[in-house]
Amino acid sequence: MTELVTFGETMALFAARRTGPLRFARDFDLGLGGAESNVAIGVARLGHDVTWIGRVGADEFGDLIRATLAGEGVHARAIPDPGAPTGLMIKGRRTADLIDVRYYRRDSAGSRLTAADLDPELIRSARLLHVSAITPALSESAREAVHHAISVARSAGVTVSLDVNYRRALWTPEEAGAWLREVVGEVDVLFATEAEGRLIADVEGAEALAGALARLGPRHVLIKFGAEGAMELSGGVVLRAEPYRVTEVDSVGAGDAFAAGWLADWLAGAEPEQRLATACAAGAFAVTSQGDWESLPRRGDLDLLRRPADGVSR
């Protein structure tokens, strides 16, 4: 029986090896990326049974996504769509400190996800449904799929988790805010940066913002501060976690790693302080190498950030 179900679009990812304008890039690394599949891999690596659902093209990139997720221990229901290609993500490094990400996902297979692609019995049997606000921005059918999944989960008493994950290339702040305010009362766990949280409730100050969001319905509100750590509001209690100091190589995917760490520890029944610490550790690991998910930790890795070390593992 799967513990966590998630769904959305996963794309083939081409990452330029050379720093500078993409037009001068000649060599690329091929991988995959997608917010929900990043979370799926992160939770699976931390010891839980996870299912990811999504449409992919009937092409080599779709096969890559299916094989990679299966290799990471994720039950991948990658539905082949012969009428549309797998979406693409192109990642360049304009300078040593500025990552340039471009998406080619209009009319992609992933954007054609429908409610009929989801398995209601699978959702009902899970402990947790995780969605992001990327999926409803892809298409009307994908938006209906998100609403359907949340409705199925809630009717079965399954905990619902939502990561705001705002993408300005997909919709305006006004469009995103309207949708988020519509669904936030139906979720149990909410992940957001301060800026993303203010799409829902225009409140200044992290604690005040978390309180305003919690009053709309979520039992757990997580506010991410990036390199400055994070805070959680659960049951009226505010917890703060300091960041782990690491050398940042690639920040893309850090928020997904944070969500994966928190959700994995929630599934494991960890105390609030522990799950927040694990979330921050997972986010820290995510930025230490190239790729959206490749450096996500396993359980045995978590203590590495807590130990004083000389940089050598013997």
Question: CA 46 to CA 88: how far, in whole Å?
Answer: 28
CB atoms within 10 A of CB 18: 13
Mean pLDDT, range 298-310, rounded to an integer: 76
Question: CA 272 to CA 130: how far, in whole Å?
Answer: 19
Residue 90 is given by DSSP the state E
* CA distances for 48 relative to 74, 93, 176, 197, 219, angstroms: 9, 34, 31, 28, 22
Question: CA 58 to CA 109: how far, in whole Å?
Answer: 9
Residue spans per domain, the chain: 35-77+114-287
Question: CA 158 to CA 228: how far, in whole Å?
Answer: 32
Range 61-70 contact pairs with CB under 8 angstroms and sequence separation of 24 or more: 61/11, 61/12, 61/32, 61/85, 61/86, 61/88, 62/86, 62/109, 64/12, 64/30, 64/32, 65/10, 65/12, 65/32, 65/37, 68/31, 68/32, 69/10, 69/37, 69/40, 69/41
pLDDT of residue 312: 45
C-alpha closest to that of 189 among 237, 154, 151, 221: 221
Taking phi over 0 as left and psi of -120 to 50 as alpha, with beta for the rest, 44 belongs to: alpha
Torsion angle (degrees, nearest 10) of CA 100, 106, 109, 113 = 110
What would the pLDDT profile of 81-106 be if each residue is shown by its tens digit? 999 999 999 988 888 778 888 999 99
Indicate if the pLDDT at residue 74 is higher than 80: yes
3-state helix, strand, coil in the chain (%, to 5): 40, 25, 35
Taking phi over 0 as left and psi of -120 to 50 as alpha, with beta for the rest, 236 belongs to: left
Work out whether the CA dihedral 163, 103, 135, 291 comes out positive or negative. negative
Q: Tell me, what amino acid is at 121?
A: E
> Which position among 117, 250, 256, 265 bears the catalytic label?
256
pLDDT tier at 292, thresholds 50, 70, 90: confident
Question: Is 265 assigned a catalytic role?
Answer: no
Residue of 243 and 73 predicted with greater confidence: 73
The pTM (predicted TM-score) of the whole model is 0.93
Instruction: Tell me what percent of the residues of the chain surpass a pLDDT of 90.
Output: 79
Residue 198 is given by DSSP the state T
Task: Yes or no: say if 117 and 55 are a contact pair by the CB < 8 Å rule.
Answer: yes
Which of 14-28, 47-61, 104-118 is least confident?
Answer: 14-28
Coil, strand or helix at 176: helix
- Select 35-77+114-287's CATH number: 3.40.1190.20, 2.40.30.10, 2.60.40.3080, 1.25.40.10: 3.40.1190.20
